Amino acid sequence: MADKKINKRDIAKLPNEWCREFSVLVPSRESGTVAMTRWDGKDIGFLDWYRNTVVPPRDSFLPLIEEMFSFYKDKDGYNIELPPPKEQKQLIFGIRPCDARALAILDMTFNDGYQDPYYLGRRQNTVLVGIGCTKAYDSCFCTSLGNSPTDTTGVDLMLTDIGEDFLVEAITDAGKELLTTSSLSKATEADQARAKVSEETARQKVTRNIDIRDIAQKLRASFEDQDFWQKVAAKCISCGICTLLCPTCYCFDINDEMSKAQGVRCRSLDSCSFPIYTRMPMENPRTEKWRRVRNKVCHKYEFYPMLFDAIACTGCGRCIRLCPVNWDIIQIIESVPTGA
């Protein structure tokens, strides 16, 4: 299918058309925190101010807390009742390339060995419409990780800013299907040329860089360097912001909430930064803060690549700009010693 284009003044037509079939989510700051929320059918103003959400779109697939099932006990034993499936499909409109790539990374985790029905059910029921970045934060470093502000990895449909219009490119069959119900103009060669210029301009606006060459080997060599990790962890306050707002972090805890003979089992997001993370009945496996910080860094850049041949970081920069004590992952990676 040839690329299409749509004038920015008419962009609201797209989510209005799609909301007949999908629950459409768009960037919003009505709650005071920028997050993906239900499309209200009219306000497309986020195109003027939106850079990226604070709460990653990951939360639409791995919620802060969710009920896995309910249960009750009778004379025959325990009985389990699964929550009813959500039948309406969802469409995330305006997801940034770094966050779409993050979901592609999470897919590896939740589809490996045991296939998680909660996460995968939502993923299989969702269409992603990306909008390329035009103004990076000074904390963004996606280009250092092989990504770009207009990367199409993980999206079904991609919109690229070309001035008064958006170039609309169908990436997957699901994206092509979206366009069958939309009357858009055919893009010209001039439009496609403008898109290439826009892509290069956006790439040049990502000014922070990180050298990840041999980073897994460096981390492995310095794993036992306690002095280094204590310095790295010195100003961390273990608040968990960097992990709870990271688009590729996925750790969770599971708890049963009971009242007499009935209850629910809930899954909730957790953070390896917390002192009580994965605490067992008798001990916490990482009581020292420096060990928890080491685990966080090594998981992204050493452990995950060992498992899936992919760094579990997309360079979105949330962990840098939202950290209350200005802990900077780029500075940490750059300071990793080569070891003995």
In the predicted model, is pLDDT for residue 295 greater than 70?
Answer: yes
**Same domain membership, residue 260 and residue 137:** no
At 237-250, the pLDDT tens digits run 999 999 999 999 99
* pLDDT confidence band for 203 (50 / 70 / 90): very high
Give yes or no: residues 199 and 219 share one domain: no
Tell me what the mean pLDDT of segment 59-64 comes to. 94
Residues 65-83 pLDDT 10s: 999 999 998 888 889 998 8
| pLDDT (tens digit per residue) in 216-235 | 999 999 999 999 999 999 99
**CA nearest 292: which of 224, 238, 217?**
238
Looking at the structure, do residues 199 and 222 belong to the same domain, yes or no?
no
Instruction: Give the residues across from 324 on adjacent strands.
Output: none
In a domain, 13, yes or no: yes
The average pLDDT across 172-184 equals 89
Q: Is the pLDDT of residue 122 over 80?
A: yes
- Where does a domain end: 204, 227, 259? 204
Indicate whether 253 and 155 sit together in one domain.
Answer: no
231 found inside a domain: yes
Identify whether 63 is part of a domain: no
Q: Is the pLDDT of residue 280 over 60?
A: no
Structural domain contains residue 220:
yes
What is the spatial distance between Cα 322 and Cα 245, in angstroms, rounded to a whole number?
9
Same domain (yes/no): 171, 274: no
Q: Do 256 and 232 lie in a common domain? A: yes
**Do 171 and 275 share a domain, yes or no?**
no
In a domain, 65, yes or no: no
Whether residue 107 is predicted with pLDDT greater than 90 in this model: the reply is yes
Across the range 188-207, mean pLDDT stands at 94
Tell me: do 275 and 133 sit in the same domain: no
194 and 219 in a single domain? The answer is no
Q: 180 with 119, same domain?
A: yes
Residues 226 and 138 in one domain: no
Q: Residue 340: its pLDDT value, please? A: 46
Residues 175 and 324 in one domain: no
Domain membership of residue 251 (yes or no) is yes
Count of domains for the chain? 2
Highest mean pLDDT among 42-56, 88-102, 181-195: 88-102
Domain coverage including residue 264: 215-335
**pLDDT at residue 283, as a whole number:** 58
Domain end call among 170, 204, 238: 204
